[in-house]
């Protein structure tokens, strides 16, 4: 029985010459030499043997194919341009292509090493149908110097098989089994050992394999193989996983003529922000994370993201934040020959809370504070605009942590946890790392009478303490000892925060003293 997945449509892209295309594109941008005109082969060391992993069109026309050893290739064609494989660069190019494919659908997934999946369910009509969409993608990729094979089917496995062995095919919903039956067993995209075993058993096509009982195939090759076979036949489905989280809302604008001037680009962002504002207003929501994506005509994709301290929907404020971000870019936004598509998306939204009116108890407007934080974060980076938070611990050096201010706008302010007129319980200046000091005390467990810190002697005239702080027992190890903290004042009026590390005669016979902070 053939099960139809009518609601799912997958477009598979395969780049059989991706490494060679990458090298050709780089030489096309630079001065060429005689070596670049030779047939190009990319080689990788496989099982201690140099084998061809990719070829260009010239090498393919001379009968050179991936998998052939370099020695055999040189025996057939002595004059070759041999380049070592660079998997990192290939992955980077594949990811760049996937970014560009985002102009057609946000559901984009990688199919390593040289494939990409696009879930085009419900969006093909925006590009005048599946056939027009397929041809448009192929034409644009070929113009970028990429040899692309493509196909559309109801499952990813079927689309992948057709892209590799019957490029340009579009399978109607529920017709996968009929179309893929004549493909070779290699199209199943399974381990080479399984393909070899199938051929030895006389099963050369997918039709031959599908004619065997599923129990027989499962016993011989495993249940995973049967599941792959059913996906290729359109009898089972495994949805693709988008390489990036899908934004909550997307608005975009396509230009019939590429735009490159700053005024037009900013006007387009303002228009998109206005459209997004209307959508968010209707939903009673605001954006916390916004991203603008610029698609260049040559396939280059640039994106700019901003975060906000509070949910935001005002179009003019959005544009102002993006303007701040653009001005702060170390690598300016280069339009090249122009952008033909600009997209604005709200990657994360939250429900607007009308009850939030103030940042501090004194009534200061939370929106003014958040607007300032947003502008500073857009210009200098969210990781540079920080606010201190208290931690649920008694260990002094762990009590406070600096976090991005945009993520802490609603936290309880210090004024609500610190009573007016109360003396500080912790020093104004805390040392990043406690410094060992020499201390003379009148009694072993008493406060210091004098101490030497940074080669200077300090005579103690007043002291307060001890404040005993035990280490967290669930994280305790042999090194962590109980601390006795003292606030002390020397004869010059300077106040320090010291502690004795270890309880005398119980944890150690020779406690060590440390300087941890300074008051004032």
Start-end ranges of CATH 3.30.70.270 in the chain? Answer: 1-173
pLDDT of 125 > 50? The answer is yes
Cis peptide before 466, with omega less than 30 degrees from 0? yes
How does residue 4 score in pLDDT terms, banded at 50, 70 and 90?
very low
Question: Quick check: 468 and 481 in contact, CB under 8 A?
Answer: no
> Tell me, what's the pLDDT at 429?
84
Start-end ranges of CATH 3.30.1490.100 in the chain? Answer: 249-379
**145 token code pair:** 């110097």
Give me the residues paired with residue 487 across strands.
464, 497
Q: If you average pLDDT over residues 168-183, what whole number do you get?
A: 92
Residues of the chain above pLDDT 70, percent: 89
Q: If you average pLDDT over residues 511-519, what whole number do you get?
A: 92
DSSP 216-273: HHHHHH-HHHHHHHHHHTTSS------SSPPPSEEEEEEEEEEE--HHHHHHHHHHHH
pLDDT of 275 > 70? The answer is yes
**482 token code pair:** 């109980």
Indicate the range of 115-119, 221-225, 425-429, 466-470 predicted with least confidence: 425-429
Give the model confidence (pLDDT) of 290-331 as tens digits: 999 999 998 999 998 888 888 888 888 888 888 888 877 666
pLDDT of 92 > 50? The answer is yes
Which CATH number does the domain 249-379 belong to among 3.30.1490.100, 3.30.70.260, 3.40.190.80, 3.10.450.50?
3.30.1490.100
Output the average pLDDT for the chain.
85
Q: If you average pLDDT over residues 192-200, what whole number do you get?
A: 92
What is the β-pairing status of strands 301-312 and 81-84?
unpaired
Give Cα separations from 419 to 204, 389, 393, 398 (angstroms): 82, 17, 20, 22
**66 token code pair:** 């991936």
> Tell me, what's the pLDDT at 31?
53
How does residue 481 score in pLDDT terms, banded at 50, 70 and 90?
confident
pLDDT of 412 > 70? The answer is no
Please, which residues have CB within 8 angstroms of residue 57's CB and are 6 or more apart in sequence?
Answer: 17, 147
Please, which residues have CB within 8 angstroms of residue 137's CB and are 6 or more apart in sequence?
Answer: 11, 13, 101, 104, 148, 150
Give the model confidence (pLDDT) of 230-252 as tens digits: 999 988 888 888 888 888 899 99
Q: If you average pLDDT over residues 87-109, what whole number do you get?
A: 94
> Tell me, what's the pLDDT at 223?
92
How does residue 473 score in pLDDT terms, banded at 50, 70 and 90?
confident
Give the model confidence (pLDDT) of 17-62 as tens digits: 999 999 988 776 555 565 667 899 999 998 888 999 999 989 999 9
CATH class assigned to 1-173: alpha beta
Question: Quick check: 488 and 448 in contact, CB under 8 A?
Answer: yes
At residue 404's C-alpha, the angle toward residues 401 and 409, to 5°, is 100
> Tell me, what's the pLDDT at 30?
54
Residue 48 phi, psi dihedral angles, 5° rounding? 65, 20
């Amino acid at each position: 029985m053939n099960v139809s997945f009518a609601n799912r449509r997958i477009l598979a892209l395969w780049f059989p010459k991706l490494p060679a295309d990458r090298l050709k594109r780089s030489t096309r941008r630079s001065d060429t030499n005689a070596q670049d005109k030779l047939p190009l082969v990319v080689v990788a060391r496989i099982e201690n043997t140099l084998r061809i992993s990719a070829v260009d069109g010239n090498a393919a026309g001379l009968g050179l194919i991936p998998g052939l050893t370099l020695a055999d290739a040189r025996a057939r064609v002595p004059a070759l341009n041999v380049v070592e494989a660079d998997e990192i660069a290939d992955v980077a190019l594949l990811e760049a292509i996937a970014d560009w494919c985002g102009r057609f659908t946000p559901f984009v997934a990688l199919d390593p090493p040289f494939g990409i999946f696009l879930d085009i369910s419900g969006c093909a009509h925006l590009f005048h149908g599946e056939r027009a969409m397929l041809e448009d993608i192929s034409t644009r990729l070929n113009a970028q110097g990429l040899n692309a094979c493509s196909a559309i089917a109801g499952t990813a496995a079927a689309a992948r098989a057709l892209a590799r062995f019957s490029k340009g095919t579009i399978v109607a919903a529920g017709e996968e089994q009929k179309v893929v039956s004549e493909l070779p067993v290699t199209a199943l995209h399974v381990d080479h050992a399984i393909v070899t075993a199938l051929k030895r058993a006389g099963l050369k096509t997918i039709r031959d394999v599908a004619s065997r009982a599923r129990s027989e195939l499962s016993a011989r090759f495993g249940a995973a193989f049967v599941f792959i076979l059913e996906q290729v036949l359109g009898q089972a489905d495994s949805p693709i996983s988008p390489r990036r989280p899908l934004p909550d809302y997307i608005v975009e604008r396509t230009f019939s003529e590429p735009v490159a001037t700053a005024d037009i680009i900013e006007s387009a962002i303002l228009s998109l922000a206005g459209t997004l504002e209307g959508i968010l207003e209707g939903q009673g929501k605001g954006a916390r994370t916004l991203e603008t994506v610029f698609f260049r005509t040559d396939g280059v994709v640039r994106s700019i993201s901003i975060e906000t301290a509070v949910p935001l929907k005002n179009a003019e404020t959005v544009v102002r934040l993006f303007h701040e971000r653009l001005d702060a870019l170390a690598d300016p936004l280069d339009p090249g020959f122009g952008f033909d598509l600009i997209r604005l998306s709200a990657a994360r939204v939250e429900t607007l809370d009308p009850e939030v009116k103030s940042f501090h108890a004194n009534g200061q407007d939370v929106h003014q504070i958040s607007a300032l934080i947003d502008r500073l974060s857009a210009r200098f980076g969210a990781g540079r605009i920080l606010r201190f938070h208290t931690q649920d611990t008694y260990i002094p050096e762990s009590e406070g942590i600096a976090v991005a201010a945009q993520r802490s706008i609603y936290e309880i302010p210090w004024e609500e946890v610190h009573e007016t007129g109360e003396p500080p319980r912790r020093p104004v200046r805390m040392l990043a790392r406690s410094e060992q000091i020499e201390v003379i005390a009148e009694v072993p467990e008493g406060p210091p009478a004098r101490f030497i810190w940074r080669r200077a002697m300090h005579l103690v005239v007043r002291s307060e303490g001890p404040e005993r702080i035990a280490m967290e027992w669930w994280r305790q190890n042999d090194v962590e000892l109980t601390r006795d903290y003292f606030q002390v004042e020397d004869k010059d009026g300077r106040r320090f925060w010291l502690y004795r590390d270890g309880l005398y005669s119980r944890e150690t016979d020779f406690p060590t003293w440390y300087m941890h902070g300074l008051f004032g």
